[in-house]
Amino acid sequence: MDRMAEQIAASDGRLHPATEPFARHMIDVGDDHTLYVEQCGNPEGLPVIVLHGGPGGGCSPFMRRFFDPEFYHIVLFDQRGCGRSRPTASVEANTTQHLIADIELIRDRLCIDRWLLFGGSWGATLALAYAEAHPGHVRGLILRGVFLGMQTELDWFYGGGAGRFFPDLWQRFCDPIPQSEQGDLIAAYHRRLFSDDRGRQGRFALPWLMWENALAGLQTSPASHAPPEYARAFARLENHYFSNRCFFEEGQLLKNRHRIEHLPAVIVQGRYDMVCPPLSAWKLADGWEKCDLRLVPASGHALSEPRITMELVRVMDGLRDGE
């Protein structure tokens, strides 16, 4: 779960200067998927991989700026089916397990032994799943807006829980679906997003995307449009993953937390996050001695919210400075 970066708040004053990649790659990972991967900052620096949200959100230049480019070796990539990876909007051979394998392939291809994982929303989910599968290659985790891929979280966002706070926006999300199908909106949207009519896919992609975008920022007006191909890829991929409960057993990430409890972690969580409420971050951190949960006041979900941005930069600069 996440939205388009850079559209919620102007956070430039809190970020590191813009930087361009020193290398770009298109990596064939098999299954007819090719991933866009970029490397920024210091090639000899402390490695960190950025895991974007969605599923289907893609990475952006904005995400490079949370890291001191003189200290960090910053790796970003577009997950299967989105951004500059190809084919666009494809859900074939596209599961959490495939993405974990892709991250390992990237790590091996770039000759990185151990790295930090930096991810928010779905990116936090993927960071946890990867770390639990390959703890020996992880230095630590920096997570934002924790989403654990659990049914209770999906019920909150697509079953009317969040709609109690935003009844007008919830109604707008429900309106395209006949009343008889509104008992399971994920399934109802799935039938339309995966119809044979590409135009129909696009018509239902926008309300899917806009519902999430509208709730991502605490003090922002919701956008009313998005690039059609971005909306289509985002909606199809996210719906595909949520239709399959993110390819997890229920509660899997919490059950397997013991595999990573020796690793340090920081969670930056908006106190008023309506997309991924703080309860999931609280459950994840509870009893994890090396996990530092930072509940950020007057903040919602988005990476670009000013206080969220400032706290994440503070975390990364603190790691640089040995704090």
Q: Of the listed 85, 240, 273, 304, which one is catalytic?
A: 273
Query: Is 299 labeled as catalytic in the residue annotation?
Result: no
Helix (H) or strand (E) holding 46: strand 46-51
For residue 202, what are its two tokens? 């696009």
* H helix runs in 137-181, sequence order: 151-158, 167-174
Separation of alpha carbons 211 and 25, rounded Å:
33
Q: Of the listed 90, 121, 280, 299, which one is catalytic?
A: 121
Task: Name residues whose C-beta falls within 8 Å of residue 14's C-beta, 6 or more positions apart in sequence.
Answer: 306, 309, 310, 313
- Report whether 296 contacts 308 (CB < 8 A): yes
For residue 119, what are its two tokens? 């991810």
Query: Is 301 labeled as catalytic in the residue annotation?
Result: yes
Separation of alpha carbons 148 and 129, rounded Å:
9
Question: First vs last Cα of the chain: how many Å apart?
Answer: 30
Cα dist. 320→37, 224, 265, 301 in Å?
Answer: 24, 39, 15, 25
Rounded to 5 degrees, φ, ψ at 87 are -80, 150
Separation of alpha carbons 261 and 37, rounded Å:
29
Q: Are strands 138-144 and 265-270 parallel, antiparallel or unpaired?
A: parallel
| Beta-bridge mates of residue 23 | 39
Helix (H) or strand (E) holding 216: helix 198-216
Query: Is 155 labeled as catalytic in the residue annotation?
Result: no
Q: Of the listed 33, 52, 240, 301, which one is catalytic?
A: 301
Q: How many CB atoms lie within 10 A of CB 171?
A: 10
| Residues with catalytic function | 121, 273, 301
